[in-house]
Every structure is written in structure tokens, then in C-alpha cells.
Structure 1
Amino acid sequence: MVAAPLAAQDMDAPQRLEDLIPDSAVSDPEAWAQQGTVADPDVPADGLSEVAVETPIADLPGTDLAWPESLEIGDIDVLAPDEDIQFAEVDEGRPQIAFADAELERISDELVLGFPQKAPPFSERGDFFNRFKALSTIEQLDSDEDNVAQLAARARQDEALLNNLLHVYGYYDGEIVRSIGTREVGENTADTRPEVRFDIIPGPRYTYGTVTLGQLDTAPDYPALRDSFDINSGDFLQSDVIVQEQFDLDRALGETGYPFAAIDAPELLIDHDRLEGDLTMLVTPGGKYIFGEVISDDPEFLSSKHLAEIARFEPGDVYQRSLSLDLRRAITATGLVSSVSVTPREVTPPQGDQPGVVAMDVALQQAKLRTIAGAIGFGTEEGIRLQASWEHRNLFPPEGSLRVRGIIGTREQLAGVTFRKNNFGGRDKILTLDAYASTIDSDAYDAQTVAIRGTYERTSNLLFQKPLSWGVGAEILASDERNRIVDGIERPRQRYFIGSLFGRATIDSTDSLLDPTQGFRLGGFLGPETSRTEGQQFYYLRNQADASYYQSVGDSIVVAGRVRFASIQGADLVGIAPSRRLYGGGGGSVRGYGYQAIGPKNDLGEPIGGRSLVEASIEARIGTGFFDGAVSIVPFLDAGSVSTATVPDFGAIKLGVGVGLRYTTGFGPIRVDVGVPLNPEEDDAPVAVYVSLGQAF
């Protein structure tokens, strides 16, 4: 082995640490440490030297100037700036900025943004400005009492925010120039306010370099999936768009047959030399699948067959995540479960070009199925009312409920039993059979009725508001009726045996079932009916048409209007039971008048009902700031007419005007309306008050 020659040593080179350590300290460090240090005779033991106060300071070496005996400094004159001075432009490798020519955007009295950069243009300036204004600490804490110190502290936070926003939009070489000063306000030049100005120099905007999406290219639907992720090399970089595009890709995977797809968190690597950012987001498609069977883990409670009827997909359809979520919502809407999960499970894996098959496993947790409910209340239209019910919501599985109910009140008594089968024969279709006996004593008539009614319908609910709902049904009833007793005078009773078929349909484009703010509703009803009374048979057609429209005006006002037309064709008034005739007036009709108080009356002043009705209403629902905007004020104007003819009598229109109060809750608005009749009759009250849940229409 040949030893390497030592390198030549520079004698003037500074000593290294190992050169200062003696060999004795290396060979025996403990003995060397006991030797201590050599004392300097000119330095006291405590390390402090004594100097007499009277001793003058020796002359500094190399200094020939004598130390002045006294030194006086006069006042310094403040120099005025010379406006003729021209500063040279510094070439920093970017377009030169003329701050005096910056375009200014004032956010508030205390905050201004300057945009001095002309080229390249700040392409996202408008959106950038709006975001900063919404998030600015200075803007949020703006006050007339702010001082410069407070603004300076907030300005540091806003400067960090501006830098972050620049990075979001792909400006990684941007600069923020912050200045704080005061500005004059008003005509008095002594009145000033502190002001912060940020001059924003974004610099060049970065673009995407390479875009890597893992194994996405192995998916059979790669071209469509890649198009859903709308980020490509060369596009301008914007980091928050990555999150949105990740969501779009995830949704596309879930809606085109990839239940087991996985997407890792995106990573963005910025290269300042290339002015680019390389994006990596690893995607694992996991294979394409179609729907198989729906499997219930509690088939005696809700069977697999019933759940398959609820689902909006058939076996063999391409898997869609939204349909899986829809099935979960539909099961929740039954009201029979406290929790539910729907999970895809692989049954057959994909093979070649053939997709795999997934079963949808449904795990259920039963809710309490029996309910006892009661209510007590008072209304100007119905008097005192006590209501109670018992219900078992799944007594006849699946989804067959039985409900027993009763009402005791000053104007109504009722006992009834109802059988209801939800999702019968298809999704959201309901079969209802109802039998009841009731007594109603209203201002218009006294009726004792026994009835059986059956309906089959498709209706909207709070979870699934439908653009089209419909219902068909039949009814058989026997009713013993008379006009009310007035001043002790008994009116003759009359029995009616009635059979009816009916159908209805509603088109709904509104944005809410209980509290719409935009859209329209169109409804229609047809009911051919026959009535036998006093040995005579009568045939007639009951029909009704409703239309309502809702329009938002600004942020806090909704204008709503409605019209209604109804008629009974084919029989004289005497052949129609009083309880089947048309009446107007009340909280859901013409406010300001009593319930069923509008229309023709007999010699005793009793409303006798009619064969035609027309109504119209308009109101403005004006939001307020009270209770976080939950309270609204609602002025309204209603009009209506009832006639014994089959054509409305527009010459006998009744008008009502008033104002209402709405309090918005999670289950709809609570309504209080106070109405005044504009053309009342002798028996009409001067004011009417209505309280209910939901809007008037």
C-alpha cells in the first residue's frame, strides 16, 4: 500500500481548533484539566481592572485630531423634496412598474388596493378583488375609531392573505407593497383617517407542467373520465380549481360504474425556473361494475324485494353512486328506521371488457314504530279542538300502517281508522283506506257523516318534492245534514247518499314545498259524483283549477300570487249536499271574513253555499333582520266571490286586506294574519285573526 503524500501547509493560514489543543490534553485530559491556567499579573483575580476616574483617555492610535473641549449641534433644516429629480429605472427582469399610475380599487375608507402591473395583465383581478374583500381583516373590523397602530397590526394579516391569494391563482413570484398613512376626510383638512394601501405586483402567472393521474388510463371509460378532470399541461395554475376538478373526477367515477375507485390527495410541485407546477394525483379506478341484487339484513322488517321496488335502478344497470344514495334517502323517508347504510359488495369481478357485479347490502336499524300523539288548540274558525291518535307504522310489513284517530271540539267531532301502505306498487306511491264518522257544525251547515274513502296517489314530501304529483280515488258516504239552527229555529234535516270518483294532478316547479320563493304551481281536480236524496238521483261534476306564482325581488322580498276557480256542473243546488257545496272566506281563502262566510245567504242569514267560486290573492313576504332574519312582514290583498250559478258572479266580489307575520322554523313558517274586510256585510266582524302553519298558499 502506498501512502498518499501530505498536502503543503500554508504558514499564514489561520489556526484550526485542533491546532490549539495541546498533545497533553489529548493523552491525559483529566491531568491536563487539573493544571489550571496561568495568572496574568496585570489582571485582578476577579477579572476586573481598576481605572481611576481622573485618568484621561489615552489618545487613540493613529489619530492626530485633538478631542474637542465642547461640541454643540445646531438645528437641522428639513429639506423639501425636489420634484425635478428623476430616478433611474432598475431592470429587475420584469416590466417596470409606475406606482403613480396604478389603478386603484377602494374597498373601504381605510383600505385601498393598487394594481400597477400593466403587462402581463392580472387576468384574475376581479375574482381576486372580491375574495380579498370578503376575507380581509381590515374590512371585517372596520371602525371609525381605528388608529394607525391597529391598522398596522391588521395590515400584516391582510398582507399574508394577499400573498396566499396570489399563490392560489398561480402567481408565485408576486410582491405586495404595503404603505400606511392618513388621508383627509371632509372639507376640514385637519380631519384625517388612517389608510392602508397594498400595491399588488403579481408578476408572471405559472402554468401546469406535467399532470399525472396514476392508473386512471387503465379504466375502460378513460377518455370520458379524463375529460371530467379539466386540467391539462399548459393551463394557467389555480390551486383551488384542483380541488373542484378532483371532486368532478370522483363524481364521474361514481356515476359511470366505479364503486371502489380511490383518489389520493393531490400534490403540486412548483418549479420557479420553469414557471410551472407539476401536478400528481394518484387515481385507482378499481374496475367497472353493474348493479346486482338489493339485499336486506332484516327481511322480515323490510324485505329485499320491497327495497328493490323502492330503488330507482334495475339489476344490470351501470352502477351509479347517486342511485345508491337515493336508495338510502328513500329508506330513511319511510320513517321506519333510525339509521341505514347501503354498501356495494363485489359479487363478480370484472373480466376483460365485461363489468363486474355488485350487490347492494342494506343494513337497517329499526326505529320505534308506535306513536301516540295529541294536540289541543283554539282557533277563531274552529273553536276549541282536542285531537289524539295512535299509530303503528309497520303493523302490516312492509310499510303497512294502522292509525286510529279522534277529534273532540266545539265545531267538530270525529272517530276514524286509517290503513296506509307506502311505496305500494312502486316508489312513492301510496294506497290509503279511510273509514270515519264525523259531526261538523260550521257557520254554514250541520252534518253528521259516515264515510269510506280510498285513494291511490303519488305525492310530494319534504325529502322528495316532485314536479308532478297525482291521485285517484273513490268515496262512498251517508250524511244527515241541515242548515244551522238560528235563534232557536229548527231547520229541516236531509239525508244524502253520495258516491264519488275523483282525480287530481299538480305540476310544481317551486323551490320549497312549505315556503316557496320562486316558481309556479298548477293544480286541477275533477270529481264526477252522484247524490240521492228525498227519492231523487242527481249527477254532477265537481271541478277546480288552482294556479300560484312566486318571485323573489332582491334578497329579502318574495311576491306571491294565486287564483282559483271551482264549479259544480249538472245539478241544482238542492241536489247537492251542503257539505259538498262551494264556500269562501277564512284563512285559506279571503282573509278578513269568517270561515265560509262569503257567498249567498238565506232569509235567516245562513250561508247556503254555491255552485261556483273564484278567488285571487297577492302578498309580499318582506324579510326583516329580526331573529337572524326568521321574521317576515306580509301585507296582503284577497278577493273572492261565490255564486249559486255555475258561473261566478263577479259583481259580488268581496275584498279583504291586512298584514301578517311569519316566523320561519325548520319545519315551515308559523303564520299569523290579521285581515280587515273592505266591503263587509252586517254580520261580518271588523277584524279577523288567523293562526296556522305554512304560508297561506
Structure 2
Amino acid sequence: MTGTHIGRFGKHVLAGASFLAMAQVGAAAAQDAGVPYDRAGPQAADSADADPLPVPAPPADVTLPEVETIISDEEFAESIPDLNAESDPALDMPLESIAEFERRLAEEQAGAQPEMGEDAPLGDPALADGDAVEEIGDAPVRDAELTAPLPPISAFEVEPVEFAEGEEDTEVTEVSYEIALNGIDEIDAETDVNIRDMFNDLSALRSDGRTANNVAQVSARLTEDSVLIERILASEGWFGASVETRIDRSDVADGQPLTAVIDVTPGQRYEFAEIVIDAEPTTPPDLIRENLPLAVGEPIVATRVQGAEANVAVALPHNGYPFAAVGQRDILLAAETGDGVYTLPVDTGPRAVFGGIETTGDLAFDAEHVAVLARFERGELYDSDMVDDLRQALVATGLFNTVSVEPQRTGEDAGTVEGGPAEYATVLVEQDAGPPRTIAGSAGYGTGQGARVEATWTHRNLFPPEGALIARAIAGTQEQGAGVTFRRSNAGRRDRTFEIVAEALRSDFDAFEALTGRLAARVNYDSTSIWQKPLTYAYGVQLLGTIEEDYDFDLGELRRRTFGIAGLTGQVGLDSTKSLLDPTSGFRVTALIEPEASVQDSFDTYVRARLAASAYYPATDSIVLAARVAAGTIQGIDRFDLAPSRRFYAGGGGSVRGFGFQELGPKVEVPNPNFDPEDPDETADPFRFRPLGGLSFNELAVEARYRFGNFGVVGFVDAGQVYLDSVPDFSGLRYGVGLGGRFYTNFGPLRLDVAMPIDKQPGESSVAVYVSIGQAF
């Protein structure tokens, strides 16, 4: 725009100069003729008020040429008519507008040619209507072809396009090539960095099997890989590397593929010469430096720098600085020396301790119950691990769509804590409660236990906070029943559960048949996947009414008996392992004691006790040796006076593998109710062996677990027996051996064990298969 404006201004200047020259020439001519010349025109000279135009004399050294007079001024003045308002009044009238002019012109033309024909204005009939604004649609169509109907498609003669011979079947010739990466072998040999492997993992040249559609594609990949190798070298400290590329065609004539060559000159590797931390003082003073694992003299490696900074970002909130922020690093490189000065700015924010707990949003429960789940107390130094733990515990309740836990500054002084000043930080929990009701189901099959289907309906927060009502139903070949449970999770303490159970079950196992009603209350404090505890406990009370079928040796037959049982339960456990489902080191010990009273034909009191222990030893990084021992005793009652469901049994996947469920121990041969003597095609045995249970038992097991990646193999030997006496004597042990497979997932191993009994007895299976989640023990 500026250039345009300047150009227009120049034209006006030139026009003015020409006008001035003409005026000067005219004035000179008038002066020579004796006629007064005025800038206002010849008529102005007649006025008394007119100012004569001063005309300077020509220079003395200039002689003006003689100009012959063509017509005198008098003759010229006489020939020009006198123009004034009297002679022509239109001279004083204002000019009409352009729009008015165009309208008048249209009216005159319409009046002159009222009919639209060939004499219309400009030869166009559309202008004869006098309308100054015309539309194309107003004009008639004179070409008859434009109004004629279109011919049908079938009337068109379309000839197919003819391609050049072989054009349709042209094949794309692929270009094969080799890759030569020169100049990095010395780096790989002298350092712990393998540049070639990193390049091979990301190289564009190595894609598509080292073939390309054309040489241009090879060249493009070569350019891309030259940038790649520069970035790889820079990430490992070679910031000044020089990379050149070329395509070598020297061997193409011999039938060999061309070669994409990358020549690398790494140059010097830069090292840390100084490490500077730009931050306010911390408590303790070396908190940031101790958690920044970089050292002067080591190469400047990108992954090391990023990992070190991430470690600082984690360590500060873990040690009382919840609002810390790691800034953008600065590394100043000196090409002359190969040194780098590393500066890390850190905004530590205030040092903080835990203050109160607040909660907002759609609440599943209030802040008081949130405090029950927290593993920190007010005034303790802030630890981000405890905040993460609280978040996980809230998620584990299953009551939220989303939940977040974040620290909030309060500015409230907390005094001196662990050697340094601090302020309180509020823990803000934002809740979005989810649907509390769920329906779940499970199905399975087990040898000795048959098919089993279980369905549950749960309202997890019917009685806030975390007061759940659970209804369940069981349908199976050997077990049927229904029950209802009230469960208060995190009852006054995290991971402590209080529950009341009422249920009715019908059981039909090889060992016993029973129709049982049960009412029980229990408090337990257990480990979870979030918080595995070294000490756990449980205690409770239960009432049982059961009708059970038992073998009466005096009568030599099975008969039904009714028992009323009341009892207490107490259990304690010690655990030094690090995993509930896949322990690899440490030990576990669990002790259970149940004093009970039974009413059948008489009133009897007795005590059931059980002790189990297991240990785990990592022989190598991939091999774990595991062992388990368990024993139990019932004191104060004879076996026949004890309800069959309260006796001890052994055998099965969680007991002695190689045997069926509850198969070990004393047995009695009884008629098989499924045998039909009148069926000629009957294949079932006429008799079957019924386990009687005992007053004591023992179990032993050893395993060698070998893991490779996400898979594992286990070899094991199990042993055990059930005894009629109340004290196990470790005689008559039965053994089972087998192999197992493991598939390790993020929640635990999936287990498949196949075992066989040693010295198989009548009625026992040759092979037993067990499938479950977690190790056998």
C-alpha cells in the first residue's frame, strides 16, 4: 500500500510541473503581445480587482524565437461566445448524481424505443425495460439449442480407452540394498554403550526387509537414519558427531545390491564438569543432591539425566515436600574441553506435615471414615507414599467411579518437625460415588467336589460407611444352599472386618452328607494386596444345627444323626513374605483354635486346633525352594460323638495332591447308591469307599519352582495322613508326586498341577488335576 501511494503522488508532481511550464510560456507570449495575462483566465483581466500575473523577464543570455501570429487575440476573443448565467442558466445549476443520470438515461432510452427488438439499447432487449439493474434471468434465450431436450444416454457412442500394451500389468521392480554403518565400532568396543543395537532397533533402512520401491525411497530412508544416528549419539553424550551419507553403486554391475552408507565421526564424548542445584535450603540439607544420582566426570547420558530428575521429583514429596517442582535443566557445553555444566532448578515449596482430611464431591462416606483408611496421623511428616496408599485403599472399597487424593496448602505453621520448620498440609479427597450394587457369579468343577455354581448379589454401602448386605445362592452336584451376610468393612480400623452370617447348606460329599443351618459372627484383620501385614488375627462365635449321615460301626450301616454345636474361633497369623499369591522368601505361620460344645445324645466339649507353617528360599534368581508342614488335633471327644463335618480330612489341591478331596484317612466300604443291579449295562462299582475322618492329621509338602519369564515349572512331592487318635503319629503316610505349570500374571500365578498317588489303593484315581490362582501354598 505504501508503494502504491508513493507512485500516485509522483504522477501528480509531474502533472503540476507541466502545467507550470505551460503557464510560463503562455504568460510570456501574452506579454509580448501587450495583452495582460491573469492566472484566472483572460476574462479575469477585465476585472478591476484582478491581480496581474507577474511574469519574470527571460534571462539576458536567452533569445526567444520569433513566433508568427496565426490569429490575433482580438479575433480569438470575438469568436468565443459569451458564456454566463444569463445566457445559459444551466451553468449555475448543481450537477446531478450518477444514479440520477443513469435513471434519466434509462427513461430516455425506454421512451425512444418502447418495443424490445433489435433496436434495443446496445442491441440487448433486456435493457429496453428501463431497469438500470439487470439480471441474466431476465434476458430471453435466443439460441434454440439451449432449450432443446438432451439426447438419451444410449445415443452416445463412447469408445473404450485403449492402454498401451503391457501398461496394465507393469510390475514394480523392488530395489534391494545393504546397510553400512561405519565409525561406531570403536565406541561399542570401548564403552558399555551399544550404538549399533540401538540403531538397528529404530532404523528406517532396516524396515521392509531391506528393499524399497526405488532408489529415491532408499535415499529418503538414508536421510532419516542419518538424523536418527545423530540423536542416538547425542543421547549418549556425543553432541558434536558428524554424519555423512551416500549410496554406493559400485557393486551393482556385478549383480550385487546397492549399499546405503552412513559414515559417522563421533568426536568427543561430553562429561559432567560441574553439577549445580538451584534450590532453596532443605531439611536435611543434602536431600536433593543425595537423590540426584549424577556424578562429575560421568558421560552426559540423556536417560541417566531424566531418571535422576525423576528420582528427585519422587524423593521430595516422599520426604516432606509435597509441593516441590523440578524445573527445566540447563546444560552448558564447552566444545574445547568436552565438558558440560549441568544446572537443575528446583522449587521445593514449603516443608509440610499431615494436617486434616477434607472431602468433597458425590460422597460415598465422610471424612471421618476416610481417616480410618489413612495410615498417617496429623503432625507426621508428609509422605507421598502414604497418600498413594490411601488412594489405593479408597479404590479398593469399590464404591467410587473416580476418587482423587491431593495435598492442599494451608499456610498454618506446624513448628519444628524432625529438625526443620514445617506447615500443615490438608489432604483433600474428591469423591465420585459409583453404583454400590453388584451381581456376580462363578462356576467350576473339582474332582470329589463336583460341579458348583455360585451367584451373589451385593449392596456394598447399604449401611454407610461400607456396611454391605450380601445374598448368595449355591447350586451344585454335591452342594446346594443359600445365605445372607452383613459385612462392615474397615470397621473402626483399616482392613478389619465385622460380619454376621446366616445360611443353610446341603452337602453330599464322599466323606459325609449333611443338612446344616449356621449362624455366625466374626471379626478378622487380614492382609490385602495393598497392605500385607506381618500380624493378622480373627475371632468369632458360631451356632450350628446339622443333620448328618454317619457310619455306625455297632450297626454296620449308615444312619442319620442330629447335632447342635456352639463354638468360639480364634486365629493368629505371622507373615514375613512379600507376596500373598507368590511368595519367594520368608515364612508364614498360622494357628487356629476352636473350643466347641456339641449336643447329640450327650453334651460334649472339645477343642479343635490346627497349626500350619511354610517357608520359602530363593536358591537362585529363577529357582525357589518351598516347604510346608501342617498338623491338627481334636481333644476331649471320641470320633463317633463328633459330627462328621467337624472331623479332620486330608487330600486335594490345597492339602495332599495326588488324592481326591477328603480322600485320605480311615475308610469304610459301603454300598454304592448309584449302582443299579437290575441294569445289565451297569458299569459302576457296587461298593464305594467312604472316608470317616479323624481326630488328627499331618501334611508335608516340598516344591522346586523354576520360573522363566512369565512361565514356570514346578516339581513337588506331597505327603499326609488322617488318624483316628487325637495325636498324629506320622505313621502310614501317603505320598503324591507331580509336575505343575505356572503362568504369571500381574495379580498372581495361574496354577495347573497334575499329580499321581504312590502305591495307589482301591477306589483311588490314578491321576488328579488341580487348577487355581496362586501357588499351592
Scaled by the length of structure 1, the TM-score of the pair is: 0.70
Q: CA deviation at 1:398?
A: 0.9
Distance in 2 between the 1:673 and 1:223 partners? Answer: 53
Task: Describe how 1:646-661 pairs up with structure 2 within 5 A.
Answer: 646-660=726-740
The corresponding residue for 2:486 is 419
Which residues of 2 match residues 678-689 of structure 1 at below 5 A? 678-689=758-769
Structure 2 residue corresponding to 1:591, chosen from 650, 653, 657: 657
| Partner amino acid, structure 2, of 1:409 | G
Aligned pair 1:347/2:374, yes or no?
no
- 2:589 aligned to 489, 514, 523, which one? 523
Choose from 509, 513, 523 the match for 1:456.
Answer: 523
Query: What SS is found at the alignment partner of 1:652?
Result: coil
Residues 175 and 638 of structure 1: CA distance in aligned 2, closer, same or farther (over 3 Å) = farther
Aligned position for 2:701:
616
Tell me if 1:323 matches 2:386. yes
Query: Hey, what does 1:67 align to over in structure 2?
Result: none
TM-superposed deviation, 1:272: 0.8
Q: How do residues 564-579 of structure 1 correspond to structure 2 at under 5 angstroms?
A: 564-571=629-636, 572-579=638-645
Q: Does 1:239 align with 2:297?
A: no
For the structure 1 residues 447 and 520, does the alpha-carbon distance in structure 2 shift closer, same or farther, using more than 3 Å as the test? farther
Partner of residue 690 from structure 2, selected from 595, 606, 612: 606
Q: Does 1:675 align with 2:743?
A: no
Shift of 1:285: 2.1
Deviations 1:401-436 (A, max 9, x none): 111222132322222221212122222222222222
| Aligned counterpart, 1:690 | 770
Number of equivalenced pairs: 575
- The answer as to whether partners of 1:376 and 1:385 remain within 8 angstroms in 2 is yes
Question: Distance between the aligned counterparts of 1:351 and 1:463, measured in 2?
Answer: 30
Find the partner of 2:234 among 167, 173, 178. 167
SS at match of 2:386: helix
For residues 286 and 331 of structure 2, the distance between their equivalents in structure 1, rounded to whole angstroms, comes to 23
Cα deviation 1:541-560 (Å, max 9, x = unaligned): 41221315364866xx6556
User: Aligned partners of 1:595 and 1:340: how far apart in 2?
Assistant: 44
Q: 1:492 to 1:259 in 2, by over 3 A?
A: closer
Instruction: Provide the rounded CA distance (Å) in 1 between the counterparts of 2:732 and 2:414.
Output: 77
Q: Which moved more, 1:253-262 or 1:487-496?
A: 487-496
Do the aligned partners of 1:546 and 1:565 also contact (CA within 8 Å) in 2?
A: yes
Q: Please tell me the root mean square deviation across aligned C-alpha atoms, in Å.
A: 4.5
The amino acid of 1:613's aligned partner reads N
In structure 2, do the counterparts of structure 1 residues 398 and 526 end up closer, same or farther at CA, with 3 Å as the change threshold? same
- Judge conservation of contact 1:434–1:454 (CA < 8 Å) in 2: yes
Choose from 509, 522, 533 the match for 2:577: 509
For residue 206 of structure 1, report the CA deviation from its aligned partner. 2.8
Deviation at 1:470, TM superposition (A): 3.2
Question: 2:181, 2:265 → 1: CA distance?
Answer: 17
Give ranges in structure 2 of 5+ residues lacking alignment: 1-9, 15-178, 249-255, 671-688
Is residue 2:550 matched to residue 1:483? yes
SS at match of 2:371: helix
Q: Would you say the 8 A contact 1:443–1:484 is kept in 2?
A: no
Does the CA contact (< 8 Å) of 2:354 and 2:381 recur in 1?
yes
- CA apart distance, 1:396: 1.3
Q: Distance in 2 between matches of 1:484 and 1:678?
A: 28
Q: Secondary structure at 1:483's aligned position in 2? A: strand
Q: 2: CA distance between counterparts of 1:258 and 1:386?
A: 52
Cα deviation code 1:89-124 (max 9, x no counterpart): xxxxxxxxxxxxxxxxxxxx999987658xxxx997
The amino acid that maps onto 2:306 is V
Task: For 1:484 and 1:320, locate their aligned partners in 2 and report how far apart those are by CA, in whole Å.
Answer: 62
2:465 paired with 1:381: no
After TM superposition, give the deviation of residue 479 of structure 1 in Å. Answer: 3.0
Alpha-carbon separation, structure 1, partners of 2:218 and 2:533? 53
Instruction: Please say which of residues 316-325 and 568-577 is displaced more in the overlay.
Output: 568-577
Deviation at 1:304, TM superposition (A): 0.9
Asked if 1:638 corresponds to 2:718, the answer is: yes
Whole-Å separation in 1 of the counterparts to 2:700 and 2:205: 51
Partner of 2:145: none
The one-letter amino acid of 2:563's match is R
Q: Equivalents in 2 of 1:375, 1:432: separation in Å?
A: 22
1:332, distance to aligned residue in structure 2 (A): 0.7
Quickly say closer, same or farther: Cα 1:345–1:563, change in 2 above 3 A.
closer
SS at match of 1:396: coil
Letter in 1 for 2:399: L
Secondary structure of 2:448 counterpart: coil
Alignment of 1:235-274 (within 5 A): 236-274=299-337
Verify the 8 A CA contact 2:320 2:381 in the aligned structure 1.
yes
Contact 1:414 1:439 in 2 (8 A): yes
Q: Equivalent of 1:500, from 568, 573, 576?
A: 568
Instruction: Tell me if the contact between 1:474 and 1:502 (Cα under 8 Å) persists in the aligned partners.
Output: no
3-state SS of the aligned residue for 1:308? helix
Partner of 2:61: none
Do 1:621 and 1:634's aligned partners in 2 also have CA atoms closer than 8 Å? yes
> Cα offset for 1:653?
2.4
* Alignment deviations for residues 440-496 of structure 1 (CA, whole Å, 9 cap, x no partner): 221111223233333322222333344443333333333333326999953252524
The answer on whether the counterparts of 1:414 and 1:438 sit within 8 Å (CA) in structure 2 is yes
Q: Distance in 2 between matches of 1:466 and 1:218?
A: 37
Match of 2:496 in 1: 429
CA distance 1:618–1:322, change in 2 (3 Å): closer
Q: 1:312 is paired with a residue of what secondary structure?
A: coil
Distance 2:691 2:552 in 1: 12
Residue 499 of structure 1: how far off its partner (Å): 1.4
The secondary structure found in structure 1 opposite 2:390 is helix
Q: TM-score, normalised by structure 2?
A: 0.63
Once the 2 structures are TM-superposed, how far is the Cα of residue 237 of structure 1 from its aligned partner?
A: 3.1
Q: Distance in 2 between the 1:422 and 1:671 partners?
A: 30
Equivalent residue runs for 1:82-481 within 5 Å: 125-128=191-194, 132=198, 135=201, 137=203, 163-173=230-240, 204-209=268-273, 211-214=275-278, 216-219=279-282, 221-231=284-294, 236-297=299-360, 301-348=364-411, 354-481=421-548
Partners of 2:727 and 2:205 in 1: how far apart?
63
What is aligned with 1:77? none
Query: Residue type of the partner of 1:421?
Result: R
Secondary structure at the residue paired with 2:308? helix
Secondary structure of the structure 2 residue equivalent to 1:527: strand
State the 1:364 CA deviation.
0.4
**1:136 Cα deviation from its structure 2 partner:** 6.6
Quickly say closer, same or farther: Cα 1:417–1:492, change in 2 above 3 A: closer
Q: How many angstroms apart in 1 are the aligned matches of 2:386 and 2:239?
A: 42
SS at match of 1:327: helix
Report the equivalent of 1:13. Answer: none
Maintained 8 Å contact 2:705/2:712: no
**Residues 1:177 and 1:474: Cα distance change in structure 2 (over 3 Å):** farther
- Equivalent residues of 1:510, 1:521 under 8 A apart: no
After TM superposition, give the deviation of residue 592 of structure 1 in Å: 2.9
Distance in structure 1 (CA, Å) of the matches to 2:559 and 2:567:
25
Instruction: Name the structure where helix makes up a greater proportion of residues.
Output: 2
Contact 1:114 1:198 in 2 (8 A): no
Q: 1:620 to 1:153 in 2, by over 3 A?
A: farther
Alpha-carbon distance in structure 1 between the residues aligned to 2:705 and 2:283: 55
Partners of 1:180 and 1:196 within 8 A in 2: yes
Structure 1: gaps of 5 or more residues = 1-26, 32-108, 182-191
Cα shift at 1:567: 1.8
Q: Partner residue of 1:8?
A: none
Cα distance, 1:672 vs. partner?
4.3
